[in-house]
Amino acid sequence: MSEPLTLVTAVTSWTADPVSLLVIVVLGGWYGWAVRRVGAWPRARVVAFYAAGLGSYVIATLSSIGAYADTLFSMRAAQIILLLMVTPLGLALGAPFTLLRDTAPTPVVARLRSVLHSPFGKVIAFPATASALLIGTPWALYFTGWYPAVLRSSVIDELTRLTLLLIGLVYFWSRLQLDPVPRRFHHLVSVWITLAEVVGDAALGLTLWFSGHIVAQDYYQALGRGWGPDLRLDQTFGAGVLWIVGDLAGLPFLGALVNRMTKEDAKQAEEIDQVLDEREAAGEDTDRPWWESDPTLSERFRRR
């Protein structure tokens, strides 16, 4: 983009990226069709999928962020954060895999279930694996030849965008656990992982901020851009985006986790009350610990 970035061009500059448009049309059309077929589907999930998920994808790829992503380091950083942290979270909150399970043909569902419970599915959904991918991908992008290749090749650029989106979706799918997963982990695990991500975002941001090395310096110098911040300041702005905006993008995720934990605790409390009521109605000793009568925990806590 040769036109200087101003407040006006930041609002009016849009790009018709064919791959992004295809992704939006396919995902948006399928989700709407599937919701209509299911009938009863939570409105909050629909809003999350379209507004937070596809909406942020539009901003990341078609707005001025997408238009200036090959010109300014800071705009590319904003795009990376949106595709890795914001868009996947919105899509995951829409529970698309549950919707797929409820609407896809039986052979497709059987195949997906076999992949889900395969060794690959269990490894990819393991907390350490998904977290390592999410934290490590930006480091690999910025400190290898990957980033310059993205700037110089439209094919690699498109594949990288889809890769970031897929990695983020795998992470939030396995952490939120709204959709079927190979194995469920307590949400406190995700809280601790989120704290580790805060450290990872800070380390990446500080490294790019204070490093004397300009990422893809040859490419940016060859652009001959005569407006806006110099290369050093532009990278500083981008480092701040990766650090601060990256951490802020994790707040909705924490909110979703807290909401899930609250609902699950309330459900468990209701189940415990029901067990106690049934024992009292049957004339059993209600002074015994409730878990000794729970079918799931009775064997674990059985008196020997």
Q: Are 169 and 176 in contact (CB under 8 A)?
A: no
CA distance 58 to 46: 16
Least confident stretch, 53-57, 150-154, 203-207, 289-293 = 289-293
Q: Are 100 and 182 in contact (CB under 8 A)?
A: no
Q: Are 248 and 197 in contact (CB under 8 A)?
A: no
Residue 285 has pLDDT above 70, yes or no: no
* Res 55: pLDDT: 97
Residue 264 has pLDDT above 70, yes or no: no
Q: Give the list of residues 6+ apart from residue 232 with CB closer than 8 angstroms, or none.
A: 214
Tell me the torsion sign for CA atoms 232, 238, 241, 246: negative
* Res 176: pLDDT: 83
Tell me the pLDDT tens digit for each residue of 74-126: 999 999 999 999 999 999 999 999 999 999 999 999 998 899 889 998 888 88
CA distance 198 to 292: 41
Cβ-based burial of 255 (10 A; exposed 0-12, middle 13-18, buried ≥19): exposed
Tell me the pLDDT tens digit for each residue of 220-231: 999 999 999 999
228 domain-assigned: yes
**DSSP tag of 77:** H
Q: Give the list of residues 6+ apart from residue 242 with CB closer than 8 angstroms, or none.
A: 77, 80, 81, 138, 201, 204, 205, 208
* Res 291: pLDDT: 53
C-alpha separations of 54 from 50, 104, 221 in Å: 5, 21, 34
248 domain-assigned: yes
* Res 286: pLDDT: 56
Place of tokens 């490419």: 219
Q: Are 27 and 88 in contact (CB under 8 A)?
A: no
284 domain-assigned: no
2 domain-assigned: no
293 domain-assigned: no
* Res 33: pLDDT: 96
C-alpha separations of 119 from 90, 114, 116, 177, 185 in Å: 27, 10, 8, 18, 17
CA distance 66 to 21: 12
Q: Are 112 and 274 in contact (CB under 8 A)?
A: no
Our measurement of the distance from residue 100's CA atom to the centroid of its chain's CA atoms, rounded to an integer in Å, reads 18
186 domain-assigned: yes
Tell me the pLDDT tens digit for each residue of 251-260: 776 676 677 6
* Res 43: pLDDT: 94
Tokens of 67: 């238009």
> Is 131 in a helix, a strand, or coil?
helix
Q: How many CB atoms lie within 10 A of CB 2?
A: 9
CA-based end-to-end distance of the chain: 74
More confident of the two residues 123 and 186 = 123
Tell me the pLDDT tens digit for each residue of 134-156: 889 999 999 999 999 999 999 99
**Number of folded domains in the chain?**
1
Domain that holds residue 17: 7-279
Q: Are 202 and 240 in contact (CB under 8 A)?
A: no
Confidence of residue 27 (pLDDT cuts 50, 70, 90): very high
- Round the average pLDDT of the chain to a whole number and report it: 85
Number of H-type helices and E-type strands within the chain: 17, 0
* Res 39: pLDDT: 85
Residue 26 has pLDDT above 90, yes or no: yes
CA distance 94 to 53: 8
Residues 262-267, mean pLDDT to the nearest whole number:
66
